[in-house]
Structures are given as structure tokens and as C-alpha cells.
């Protein structure tokens, strides 16, 4: 069912005018998305839309539940349906979101004309069919990342999203919508770290990544992340979110990956490595190192960008600190900024909206008490797009496709312990 012209979320004149102004902001041309402060303030000053968006979640595992609990805090979101083919998840849905109807077949959800937006949180390799059907049914789509587990699937989805120009297609690369990341992004791109030297990222946890169920068939499908025929591994299911930020911050896409994968902790018959390392080469010559493990939780997760003047670290869900070289030029404001100790280093806290907080008589050196999670901002952007768009979201189909291409090729390098080159043309949808 295609959307009717009189549908409020189609490209009306009002939407067209908004879209044409927002397009320059969000970079239709594929340029980097610098959000000028004046425009983000304008966006905040707009009256909040009154209409609610009827949403459905397909896939009610851990991520689906997180989507539901975040939607519950957005007044404009009305979660009206939940779909999962496992009855345990539907029982959880009844507990978590009692107002939502439950379904075991996603086609039921898509055929409901009242559902405007579909959020897809199924296993990665199942995204494609659902996303294509949802677009075909005229729904706006929020699809978890990675978009797909094969490049072919990701390309098919991205092209379908491109063709559905009056529909929203947002990929769950949530840091792209996070004000804190946007703020630090501007910082790095304005040259605050000096000449970029290298990047490093990690994700460490002590967990088996295995799931269980009393039903053995169900258990097999629950453990899709450990099925090497469909899983994109740690680099895809976890690292992609962190590394997507590096593509954004550095303004370039990797040209090659040297990968290494081992099973160090969970030798339980799995073939998907539980410990990985990757050295990612960018066209500019910059390298980024990334490692992830399910064997150790030491030092959690972060990304670091080393430069000749300073080093910036992202950690704790989007918080950021800057460590200046002693000979770096004085920026001025850092004298007043909050400093946090990191063993022997002193990190300058980089806070989004510090000047706004100051204007509201709030202490700009304290963490913003109104700050939300990156997922909240991503879903807020998705909801706002229904009221003011459709415009290309920060994590649009192209960014989703490019990140998926990287994840799939990097996983190939890791599982084969080799170096894989990524042809620049592969990132293009043309």
C-alpha cells in the first residue's frame, strides 16, 4: 500500500519548504554534516508537533525492548504494535508495553494502515525482507545497524530507500544524531587536534554472546550472532557503531582492513571469533586500530583520536575529553573548562551546549542534567522527521549502506586473518 498524497507525512508544500532548508543542513550532496549552532537553536525553538506517530517494532529482543522504552519517553511516539516470532518476546511485550498489540507475523503489522513508522530490530540478516516490505507498504522505516549482513542485501535496501523519496529511512547509527558527537565533530574538523596522527577504538566485555531457550530450534535462531554464515561478528554488530563515528569525524571511508580474529574465551563450538583486532587504513594514509573482546571487560569501550596538538577520547555513551599537548596553542576557553583526571593525564571535558547552559544559569562545567541517551536523540530525530520532513536523516540509507559495506569487508578480513581492500566504487550506490 503506497502512501496517499493527503497523508500528513508525504511531501506537502509545508514539508517541501522545510525539506529544502533542512537539506543543506544534513548534506544531501554527501558533504559532511556540520550543524551550525544557529540552525540547531532554530530547530529547538520550533513549536513541538502535536500529532503522534503510530509506531510498530519488529523484533522484540534486547534492542527492540530498548527501542520501546526510549519511545515511551517521546510524547510524539505511540507504540501501537510489537511483532516477534518468539512467544517469550511477545509476553515481554505485554509486560513492557501493555497498550501495544502483539503479532507473530510482520505482514500483519505492515498491512495495518494506522501504522506510520516501523522500527526493525530483528537479527541483521532478516532486515532486508522486512525493510523492503515496509517501504513497499508506504511505512517510514528505522532500521537497526548494520543494515544487512551481505553487501547485496544492503545495496538492495539502500536503493529501495533512495527510490522511496517521500518516506523516511533512518539507520540505527545513533551517534550521528547525538548532539555531543556533533559538537565534538565540529571541534575535530576545525583542527583542534592539530594534524591527525591515528585513531584507536575498543569494546571490551566479559560475556559469552550466547542466548538460550528451552526450545532448541528457537535457541539456534536466537544465536544468530554466533552463526558465521550470517553474523557480521564483533566488528559489525558492535564496532560498526563506534567506527561509523570515525568515518564521519575523519570525513573518509576505509580503503583496506587488516583483520585478526581468535577464539580466546568461549571455545564452545562457535566459529565467530570472540576476540578481534583490526587495523583500518584510510585513503589519507591515516590508520585506525580497533579491538574487541568477549573475554575481558577491562576499560570498557572508547574511541580515541590522536593529533599533534591534542587527543580526544569519546567514552561513556558520547562523553568526550580532550588532552592537550604542552606545546599546543591556547584555545582560550579550556582555562575555565572542567578537568577530569585519567590516571596521570588531565582531560578537558568537552560538553555540548556549554554556552547554552551558561545562558540558562546552569553550570557549564557540570554534565548537562538534561542530556539524553544517543538512542533517544536518534529516535527524536526520527519522530521530528515525521513532523518536519521527510528530509534525509543524519544516518540515511547511504551512510547505512557504506557502514554495512565496511563491516562486511572488515569481518571478512577478521575471519580470514588477512588484509582486504575495499574498492572505493563499492561504497557508491550509483
Binding site for another protein (CB under 8 A): 62, 66, 68-69, 72-75, 88, 91-92, 95-99, 207-208, 210-214, 219, 268, 317, 367-373
Tell me how far CA of residue 336 lies from CA of 188, 324, 333, 369, in angstroms.
20, 14, 6, 19
- Residue 365 CB, nearest approach to another protein (Å): 14
Q: Which is nearer to another protein, 68 or 348 (CB)?
A: 68
Cα(71)–Cα(101) distance, rounded to whole angstroms? 15
DSSP H stretches of helix in 325-425:
354-359, 374-388, 397-415
- Residue 262 CB, nearest approach to another protein (Å): 19
DSSP state of 195: S
- Residue 231 CB, nearest approach to another protein (Å): 16
CA 315 from centre of chain = 15
Q: Which is nearer to another protein, 22 or 77 (CB)?
A: 77
Cα(395)–Cα(171) distance, rounded to whole angstroms? 5
Q: Which is nearer to another protein, 10 or 52 (CB)?
A: 52
| Residue owning grid cell 505482514 | 107
Q: Which is nearer to another protein, 89 or 249 (CB)?
A: 89
Q: Which is nearer to another protein, 150 or 208 (CB)?
A: 208
Q: Which is nearer to another protein, 207 or 308 (CB)?
A: 207
- Residue 40 CB, nearest approach to another protein (Å): 20
Phi, psi of 311 (to 5 degrees): -125, 135
- Residue 50 CB, nearest approach to another protein (Å): 14
Tell me how far CA of residue 165 lies from CA of 4, 140, 396, in angstroms.
14, 11, 12
DSSP H stretches of helix in 4-126:
13-26, 37-45, 62-71, 87-96, 106-110
- Residue 378 CB, nearest approach to another protein (Å): 15
Beta-bridged to residue 417, according to DSSP, are none
Amino acid at each position: 500500500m503506497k502512501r496517499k498524497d493527503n497523508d500528513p507525512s508525504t511531501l506537502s508544500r509545508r514539508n517541501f519548504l522545510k525539506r529544502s532548508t533542512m537539506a543543506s543542513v544534513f548534506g544531501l550532496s554527501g558533504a559532511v554534516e556540520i550543524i551550525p549552532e544557529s540552525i540547531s537553536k532554530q530547530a529547538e525553538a520550533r513549536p513541538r508537533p502535536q500529532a503522534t506517530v503510530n509506531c510498530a517494532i519488529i523484533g522484540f529482543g534486547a534492542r527492540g525492548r530498548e527501542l520501546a522504552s526510549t519511545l515511551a519517553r517521546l510524547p510524539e511516539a505511540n507504540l501501537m504494535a510489537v511483532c516477534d516470532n518468539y512467544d517469550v518476546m511477545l509476553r515481554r511485550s505485554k509486560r513492557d508495553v501493555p497498550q501495544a498489540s502483539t503479532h507473530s507475523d510482520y505482514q500483519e503489522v505492515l498491512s495495518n494502515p494506522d501504522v506510520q513508522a516501523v522500527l526493525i530490530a530483528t537479527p541483521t540478516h532478516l532486515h532486508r525482507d522486512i525493510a523492503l516490505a515496509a517501504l513497499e507498504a508506504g511505512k517510514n522505516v528505522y532500521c537497526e545497524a548494520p543494515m544487512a549482513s551481505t553487501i547485496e542485501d544492503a545495496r538492495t535496501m539502500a536503493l529501495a530507500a533512495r527510490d522511496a523519496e517521500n518516506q523516511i529511512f533512518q539507520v540505527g547509527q545513533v551517534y550521528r544524531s547525538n548532539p555531543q558527537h556533533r559538537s565534538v565533530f565540529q571541534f575535530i574538523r576545525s583542527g583542534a587536534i592539530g594534524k591527525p596522527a591515528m585513531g584507536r577504538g575498543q569494546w571490551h566485555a566479559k560475556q559469552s554472546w550466547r542466548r538460550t531457550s528451552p526450545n532448541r530450534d528457537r535457541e539456534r535462531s536466537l544465536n544468530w550472532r554466533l552463526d558465521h554464515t550470517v553474523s557480521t561478528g564483533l566488528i559489525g554488530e558492535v564496532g560498526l557503531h563506534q567506527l561509523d563515528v570515525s568515518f564521519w569525524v575523519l570525513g573518509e571511508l576505509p580503503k583496506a582492513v587488516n583483520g585478526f580474529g581468535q577464539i580466546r574465551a568461549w571455545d564452545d563450538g562457535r566459529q565467530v571469533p570472540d576476540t578481534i583486532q583490526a587495523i583500518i587504513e584510510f585513503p589519507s594514509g591515516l590508520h585506525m586500530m580497533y579491538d574487541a573482546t568477549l573475554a575481558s571487560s577491562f576499560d570498557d569501550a572508547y574511541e580515541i583520536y590522536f593529533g599533534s596538538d591534542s587527543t580526544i577520547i569519546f567514552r561513556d555513551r558520547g562523553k568526550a575529553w580532550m588532552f592537550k599537548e604542552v606545546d599546543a596553542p591556547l584555545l582560550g576557553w579550556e582555562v575555565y573548562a572542567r578537568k577530569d583526571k585519567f590516571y596521570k593525564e588531565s582531560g578537558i571535558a568537552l560538553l555540548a551546549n556549554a554556552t547554552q547552559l551558561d545562558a540558562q544559569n546552569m553550570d557549564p562545567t557540570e554534565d548537562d542534567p538534561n542530556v539524553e541517551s544517543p538512542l533517544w536523540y536518534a529516535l527524536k530525530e526520527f519522530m521530528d522527521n515525521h513532523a518536519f520532513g521527510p528530509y534525509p536523516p543524519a544516518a540515511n540509507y547511504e551512510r547505512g549502506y557504506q557502514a554495512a559495506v565496511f563491516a562486511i569487508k572488515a569481518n571478512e578480513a577478521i575471519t580470514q586473518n588477512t588484509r582486504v581492500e575495499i574498492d572505493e566504487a563499492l561504497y557508491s550506490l550509483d
